[in-house]
Amino acid sequence: MEAIIRKIKPSTSTSLRRFSASPSRSSIMDLKGVYPPIPAPFNEDESLALDKLKSNVSRWISLPLSLRGIVVNGSNGEAPYLTVSERIQMVSTVRECIPRGSGKLIIAGSGCESTRDTIDLSNKMADAGADVLLVLPPSYFKSQMTHEVLIQHFTRVADNVSIPVLMYNVPATTGLDLSADILVQCSQHPNIIGYKESGGDIVKIATVVHRTINNGFTVLAGSSSFFLPSLAVGAQGCVAALANVIGDEVCKVQTLFDNGSHMEAQLLQHRLMGPNASVTSKYGVPGLKLMMDQFGFYGGPCRRPLMSVSESTAKLKNHLLNRGFYKIFHKMQISYVK
């Protein structure tokens, strides 16, 4: 790892900010908990509906079982369809709703295809109010993204941004699967504080946890569908699309696990499987937005080429109703309105 870092020549660009390592990163940034990767709300003309974003964030941060923070500009946020200025607006608007010192973190997606652009956007995200950067690997030139190239990319980004980096492994989107060796080597950098695993590889999660146990490196599951298995092998939290709709129930999985109520946690994990599939693999972002509309949040339209789901609303609602979630959230909605 040290040899690889030494090969990288510092850039003279004025947009770069050298990271200053501190003695203990783990004492500075605790990522443990649940984070909804929030959708970008659009008006019917596909412009950002920032008023709706503020309303949604206020709801999320007031849930009885507290979310640890919010992920902005991730896959569920339709980040590839947003301009740079829109991505910055998303972060700055969320920061208006979540004051510093509130105990809630803002994690902002800042990955770009080039290292240079990733650094530039990352520092803009920091200026807009992000606490942590979520950086996926460049993937357009897949065959050139070797072990060494990827390590150099993440290392150079971490060297030149002012806030911590959370690596993002999402092979379904990028077509790249970051290996445990890459993750472990990058974990040695003091400004790379963890990674989000969306591929569902529990063996890899366990391997990375085991090999980085003394590094203060945090692993977050990337879906509520494998949240409990991830906790069982040492993950510290979850970035879960389903937490946008029933955040309390997703948080409860971790609460039950931490309290030693493993059978209850297992039963709840099983109940989450169907609803989670509805907002991820089956209907995706359009399904998530439709479900949000049904449960008192603003989902709204997607930005084209994404289209609204053609399935009936009843089918989506039944995924939650049949598992008792709709009644739970309906009570919360009544309480919130009052």
**Residues with catalytic annotation?**
196
Angle, nearest 10°, between helix axes 243-258 and 284-294?
90
What is the spatial distance between Cα 214 and Cα 219, in angstroms, rounded to a whole number?
13
CA geometry: angle 56, 32, 185, nearest 5 deg: 120
Helix, strand or coil, per DSSP, at residue 208: helix
What's the longest Cα–Cα distance across the chain? 60
Cα separations in angstroms, 272 against 225, 258, 259: 7, 18, 19
- Look at residues 124, 105, 115 and name the one whose alpha carbon lies nearest to residue 37: 105
What is the spatial distance between Cα 173 and Cα 68, in angstroms, rounded to a whole number?
25
What is the spatial distance between Cα 267 and Cα 209, in angstroms, rounded to a whole number?
25
Ramachandran sector of residue 207 (left: φ over 0; alpha: ψ -120 to 50; beta: rest): alpha
- Look at residues 134, 130, 88, 86 and name the one whose alpha carbon lies nearest to residue 111: 134
Q: Which residues of 2-13 are buried (b: 16+ CB within 10 A; e: fewer)?
A: eeeeeeeeeeee
Calculate the dihedral angle through the C-alpha atoms of 305, 308, 311, 315, rounding to the nearest 10 degrees.
130
Which residue has tokens 């607006």?
89
Give the DSSP H/E element, type plus range, for residue 53: helix 50-60
